Amino acid sequence: MTAEMKKLMLPVVLILSFTICQGQRVRCKDPSEEHLRQKLHRLSPDSLLLSNSEYIPDIKKKKCPSSVNISSELMQDRSISPWSYSINEDMNRYPREIVEAYCLCKGCVTSKESSMVSEPFYKEVAVLYKSSKCKKSRYVYKLRFIRVAQFCICRFH
């Protein structure tokens, strides 16, 4: 092997050894659900997400009813701006699944007036988002606020 080839081989060997060492680094993991729950509660004690059992998400999207269902026990069915729930999922967020309202109608059920519209009512809620940073072999989650639809209301357009 010539001296010139040895000079060329040195950078290649250094790059290969660096790459091998990088491959052996401890990979970052997600913290436990309990850790994330406690962190969210500590950072935002009054955070309230729809998690109650009465907020059951639809398997299939519902359609706008022709009239108000006054016999239903559910407020969203008795409303002139009926709504239902779906799952908002984000694997880089805690909680990963959030139950969110969606409006069933463009207008309001009892109103023939086209100037009435049905729209979601939003609330800002605290969530944790995964960052690319790693601390003690765990991903770092940062507090953020997102708008989540809680129910639907009728209003003049």
pLDDT in tens, 1-50: 655 555 555 555 445 444 443 444 558 999 999 999 999 999 888 765 54
CATH number of the domain enclosing 60: 2.10.90.10
Note whether 106 and 117 are within 8 A (CB): yes
Q: Domain span at residue 68? A: 28-156
The token duo for 104 is: 């069933």
With respect to residue 63, please indicate whether it lies within any of the assigned structural domains.
yes
Position 25 scores a pLDDT of 57
**Domain total for the chain?**
1
pTM of this prediction exceeds 0.75 = no
**Residue 143 located in a structural domain:** yes
What is the arithmetic mean of pLDDT over 112-116? 75
What's the DSSP call for residue 46?
A: T
> Does 149 have pLDDT greater than 70?
yes
pLDDT of residue 20: 41
What confidence score (pLDDT) does residue 32 get? Answer: 93
Residue at 98 is within a domain: yes
> Cα 94 to the chain's mean position, in Å?
7
Strand partners, 93: 129
Q: What is the C-alpha separation between 87 and 90, in angstroms, rounded?
A: 10
Asked if residue 1 is part of any domain, the answer here is no
Confidence of residue 114 (pLDDT cuts 50, 70, 90): confident
CB burial of residue 143 (10 Å; 0-12, 13-18, 19+): middle
Residue 17: per-residue pLDDT: 43
Give the Å distances, CA to CA, from 55 to 83, 90, 128.
11, 19, 22
What pLDDT is stored for residue 24 in this prediction? 45
The reply to whether 92 falls in a domain is: yes
- Is residue 50 in a domain? yes
pLDDT digits (tens, 9 = 90+) for 55-88: 777 778 889 998 898 999 989 999 999 999 999 9
Higher pLDDT: 14 or 104? It is 104
Res 118 pLDDT > 50? yes
Asked if residue 43 belongs to a domain, the reply is: yes
Q: What share of the chain is helix, strand, coil (3-state, %, to 5)?
A: 25, 35, 40
Predicted confidence at residue 53, as pLDDT, reads 53
Segments of the chain assigned E as strands: 83-89, 93-94, 97-103, 116-135, 138-156
In a domain, 118, yes or no: yes
User: Cα(147)–Cα(130) distance, rounded to whole angstroms?
Assistant: 18
Q: Kindly indicate the confidence band of residue 96, based on its pLDDT and cuts at 50, 70 and 90.
A: very high
